[in-house]
Amino acid sequence: MVSIADYRGMREGYSCGYCGHPEGKYATGMWAHVMSAEDYQDLIDRGWRRSGKYVYKPTMHQTCCPQYTIRCHALDFLPNKTHKKVLKKMSKFLAKGDITKGLTDESTMDMNTLPDLLPVQDHLCPDLRDPNISTKEGLQEPSEAIASNQATKTFFGSESKVQKKRTPHPGVGVDPARPLCRKAKDIRRERKRQKLLHGQPEGLKVEPRSSTPSATATASNPPTQHPQAVNRQSKLLEEFISDQGGPDASHHLEVRLVPSSFENAAFETSFEQSAALFAKYQMAIHKDTASECSHDQFTRFLCDSPLEEEHRADGPSEGYGSFHEQFWLDGKLLAVGVLDILPRCLSSVYFYYDPDYSNLSLGVYSALREIALTKRMHHEATDIRHYYIGYYIHSCPKMRYKAQYRPADLLCPESYHWVQVEHCLPLLDKAKYSRFNTDLSAGDDDCPVSLDHVMVLYNRCAMPYNVYQQRWAHSKDEAEVREYASFVGQRCAERMLLYRG
């Protein structure tokens, strides 16, 4: 499959959906008439994303809210306490029909909105990922929980009498012969670590965790973890997801992965329900009007895709391309995750759900399901190892939740090298735009050095740019083609066809 792109250049000074600046957003874009999974994989590894068939790249040093490509190492993902709480809540709901109040998607809603209705060929579409993710709101702090447990034990335990406070003798401080007080959870972690160290195979090194990662740490060299620890945690995630409550469950949840194509029967028959759910979600959560979430808008942004379905012998059974992951609750469409399956990753595009079930934290739940799907696909296609969560926007607090899915990397906007998120966050605390790669000599490994082999499409004929230039090129063409090649990289420029009319 050959990709065909119509480059549109930079769009300057338009409204930002994250900070509300009326003229703060800058990005470069192109319309992709058709695109191979391999080309799109290379593009998102250079900071591009798609919205429908429009592929765009933020101008990082100019835009008001720099958008950094973020990826999670799905194979090494460890669910945190919030993730486990969401998984348990879903299991409880399916088994008993109970929705426990606490974490809700509405409390920290993503500020993404659909683009304004502008002419198709002149409109730049923002990323449509809506996390609907709460972080720690509604959770009891560990110190409060410990204090509550201690109070309960004191009242109901064997020592129900009022305890007298022991006043220290004057001049006597902490006994140096006794160890410092430690929290119970810290003691348990240390015991677990010592147990893993004691039982590790010879020659395997387990590096201790550090709150200040090395400046040279990159995604290609993540901290070594003990295989047993990773396996135990990963099984926990998969066990939670597979727990559907059994045959006597109050609710039945079915997840279907269908290609985003009207040629697919399952997609076509569910289109009306999916479009209606999208409109309900947009009007309730983002306060859109009915015209802003019409069938045409839904089709344009979440159904149309330049990626055509591709199947390879060494690829996943579903193939590569764009898909809708549909969540059906008791035969009714509950939520839909729009995603792309690419040669080295699963890329999330957007997620929408029934607002009546906000208490289930479906944004978090869907992300965990997609991480589990990435891990499952890795067994069929070993190159698929990462889960791309769209853009990380540090200047927008409601978009920082994406850094919770760790281990994770951010893409350096200058060298296009991956850097561990722990190293990037302190830099972003100082400035909203930052170069993450500390090696100042490192540059773009895929930077074009010549335009001679850039492929163009002219009068339905594919040819190298040097041939096109000799016969038909105008004076302004070279500057535009050079700009296009610098953004897409040499590899894509030599594979994709740049439409020239």
Per-residue pLDDT at 77: 94
Tell me how far apart the alpha carbons of residues 258 and 339 are, in angstroms, rounded to a whole number.
Answer: 10
Confidence of residue 149 (pLDDT cuts 50, 70, 90): very low
Which strand ranges, in their side-by-side order, compose the sheet holding 418-420? Answer: 253-259, 321-329, 332-342, 345-353, 386-392, 68-73, 408-411, 418-420
Domain annotation covers residue 155: no
Per-residue pLDDT at 473: 67
Residue 403 has pLDDT above 50, yes or no: yes
More confident position, 278 or 475: 278
Grouping H, G, I as helix, E, B as strand and the rest as coil, residue 159 is coil
Mean pLDDT is highest, among 98-102, 446-450, 474-478, for: 446-450
Per-residue pLDDT at 203: 37
- Residues 256, 326, single domain; the answer is yes
Mean pLDDT is highest, among 57-66, 183-192, 200-209, for: 57-66
- Residues 418, 466, single domain; the answer is no
Cβ–Cβ under 8 Å, residues 340 and 307: yes
Domain annotation covers residue 170: no
Per-residue pLDDT at 35: 98
More confident position, 386 or 205: 386
- Residues 293, 439, single domain; the answer is yes
Amino acid identity at 186: D
- Residues 460, 334, single domain; the answer is no
Tell me how far apart the alpha carbons of residues 281 and 210 are, in angstroms, rounded to a whole number.
Answer: 41
The chain-wide mean pLDDT, for the chain, equals 81
Give the lowest-confidence range in 84-93, 199-208, 403-412. 199-208
Query: Taking residues 63-67, what's their average pLDDT?
Result: 97
Of the candidates 307, 254, 309, 284, the one whose C-alpha atom is nearest the C-alpha of residue 130 is 284
Domain annotation covers residue 219: no
More confident position, 281 or 469: 281
More confident position, 193 or 128: 193
Of 427, 445, 463, the residue that ends a domain is: 445
Tell me how far apart the alpha carbons of residues 446 and 493 are, in angstroms, rounded to a whole number.
Answer: 10
Domain annotation covers residue 225: no
Of 445, 467, 491, the residue that ends a domain is: 445
Domain annotation covers residue 141: no
- Domain range for residue 440? 4-134+236-445
Give the lowest-confidence range in 28-32, 87-91, 152-156. 152-156
Cβ–Cβ under 8 Å, residues 104 and 355: no
- Residues 441, 498, single domain; the answer is no
Residue 197 has pLDDT above 50, yes or no: yes
Cβ–Cβ under 8 Å, residues 77 and 406: yes
- Residues 338, 426, single domain; the answer is yes
**Total number of domains in the chain:** 2
Tell me how far apart the alpha carbons of residues 23 and 5 are, in angstroms, rounded to a whole number.
Answer: 27
Domain annotation covers residue 159: no
More confident position, 35 or 113: 35
- Residues 304, 275, single domain; the answer is yes
CB-CB neighbours of 215 under 10 Å? 13
Domain annotation covers residue 218: no
Residue 102 has pLDDT above 90, yes or no: no
Residue 31 has pLDDT above 80, yes or no: yes
- Residues 459, 413, single domain; the answer is no
Tokens of 227: 């295989």
Amino acid identity at 461: C
DSSP state string for 278-297: HHHHHHHHS---GGGG-HHH
Tell me how far apart the alpha carbons of residues 180 and 250 are, in angstroms, rounded to a whole number.
Answer: 49
Per-residue pLDDT at 369: 97
In 199-344, DSSP assigns E strands to 253-259, 321-329, 332-342
Domain annotation covers residue 153: no
Long-range contact pairs involving 291-300 (C-beta distance under 8 Å, separation at least 24): 291/117, 292/114, 292/117, 293/114, 297/114, 297/117, 298/274, 299/275, 300/52, 300/120
Percent of the chain predicted with pLDDT > 70? 74
- Residues 494, 382, single domain; the answer is no
Distances (CA, A) of 486 to 40, 239, 312: 16, 45, 30
- Residues 279, 322, single domain; the answer is yes
- Residues 300, 440, single domain; the answer is yes
More confident position, 111 or 373: 373
More confident position, 501 or 253: 253
Of 445, 463, 493, the residue that ends a domain is: 445
More confident position, 196 or 349: 349
- Residues 428, 460, single domain; the answer is no
Cβ–Cβ under 8 Å, residues 307 and 37: yes
Cβ–Cβ under 8 Å, residues 55 and 306: yes
Could you tell me how many helices (H) and strands (E) the chain has, helices first? 13, 15
Going by the DSSP 8-state scheme, the letter that residue 415 receives in this structure is T
DSSP state string for 62-79: TSSS--EEEEEEGGG---
Per-residue pLDDT at 472: 82
